[in-house]
């Protein structure tokens, strides 16, 4: 702690009420007895430049960014790191001596969730990534940086995959048309759903797992519901499964550490608290 001075951080979004981040960071603040506060900050897109510029002035250590600010905030940071630049989005801002540093911790959160909850390693073989939106960009960068040699990106819109591959500089990724998704599973070691399909209020993900080896890890980053129909199908045929809540929890670790000075743990107790 800093001479008893309360440390402030928060999450900017529009709307922001749905965000689980305040609950998650407050759990750690209380558990670790940190003199700090993490606040939901409803900021409309038009007011984002003023809100970000005001952070050092108000003594904030930084913020998380959620929909719709992750791309807009890039040009408002003084510095952004290589990961955020390749992903094309910033989800964490850290203020240091009045300088705004932007980073993206979704890639870390994704990989850490897999590492902690499965035996997956990159040399295991091909990876099928469904989706090419904001989350998929972070996941593609994470998988490539972790040594995946055959990344099959399945998406409804081809142009989105092309732009993902080009702007992230991926060398080992290929586009698979949406109607060939079932066949793309052949020989895969990991399947990740990064589309919004299967989420509460969205249509289901129609995916036939017959070609998927039984040893392949299946990860759905959708966490509402926690057990998506994809994970239920995969578990029923014996595949190891990893849900999406861990990615949300682990992506929060680097921000908490930078703002509050302590590295927090992701525990079962935290999972239950965030879900409650």
Which residues of the chain form contacts with ligand NAP (CB under 6 A)? 106, 109, 131-136, 155-157, 160, 178, 194-197, 199, 203, 221-223, 244, 247-248, 251
Q: Which is nearer to ligand NAP, 212 or 247 (CB)?
A: 247
Q: Which is nearer to ligand NAP, 95 or 154 (CB)?
A: 154
In terms of DSSP bridges, do strands 7-13 and 190-193 run parallel, antiparallel, or are they unpaired?
A: unpaired
Examine the residue annotation and report whether 70 is marked as an active-site residue of this protein. yes
Q: How far is the CB of 30 from ligand NAP (least distance, A)?
A: 22
Q: How far is the CB of 64 from ligand NAP (least distance, A)?
A: 12
Q: Which is nearer to ligand NAP, 26 or 160 (CB)?
A: 160
Q: How far is the CB of 77 from ligand NAP (least distance, A)?
A: 20
Q: Which is nearer to ligand NAP, 104 or 155 (CB)?
A: 155
Sign of CA dihedral 119, 264, 80, 44: positive
Q: How far is the CB of 209 from ligand NAP (least distance, A)?
A: 17
Question: Dihedrals φ, ψ of 194, to 5°?
Answer: -120, 25
Annotated active-site residue in 33, 70, 79, 214: 70
DSSP label of 221: -
Contacts of 108 (CB under 8 A, 6+ apart): 142, 250, 251, 253, 254
Instruction: Calculate the alpha carbon distances from 92 to 65, 106, 127, 163, 164 in Å.
Output: 6, 9, 27, 23, 21
Are the beta carbons of 252 and 29 closer than 8 angstroms? Answer: no
- The Cα–Cα gap between 218 and 244 comes to 11
Catalytic residues: 70
């Amino acid at each position: 702690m800093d001479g008893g001075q309360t440390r402030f951080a928060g999450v900017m979004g529009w709307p922001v009420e749905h965000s689980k981040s305040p609950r998650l960071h407050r759990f750690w603040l209380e558990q670790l007895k940190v003199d700090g506060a993490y606040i939901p900050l409803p900021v409309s897109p038009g007011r984002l430049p003023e809100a970000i510029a005001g952070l050092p002035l108000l003594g904030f250590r930084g913020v998380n960014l959620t929909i719709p600010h992750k791309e807009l905030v890039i040009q408002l940071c003084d510095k952004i790191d290589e990961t955020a630049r390749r992903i094309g989005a910033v989800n964490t801002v850290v203020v240091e001596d009045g300088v705004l540093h932007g980073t993206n911790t979704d890639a870390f959160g994704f990989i850490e969730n897999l590492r902690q909850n499965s035996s997956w390693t990159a040399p295991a073989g091909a990876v099928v990534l469904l989706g090419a939106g904001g989350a998929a960009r972070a996941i593609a960068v994470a998988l490539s940086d972790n040594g995946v040699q055959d990344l099959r990106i399945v998406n409804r819109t081809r142009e989105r995959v092309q732009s993902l591959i080009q702007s992230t500089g991926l060398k080992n990724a290929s586009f698979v048309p949406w109607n060939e998704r079932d066949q793309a599973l052949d020989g895969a070691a990991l399947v990740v759903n990064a589309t919004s399909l299967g989420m509460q209020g969205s249509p289901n993900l129609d995916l036939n797992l017959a070609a998927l080896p039984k040893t392949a890890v299946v990860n759905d980053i959708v966490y509402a519901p926690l057990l998506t129909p994809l994970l239920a199908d995969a578990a029923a045929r014996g595949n190891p499964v990893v849900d999406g809540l861990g990615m949300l929890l682990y992506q929060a670790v680097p921000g908490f550490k930078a703002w509050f000075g302590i590295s927090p743990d992701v525990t079962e107790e935290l999972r239950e608290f965030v879900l409650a």
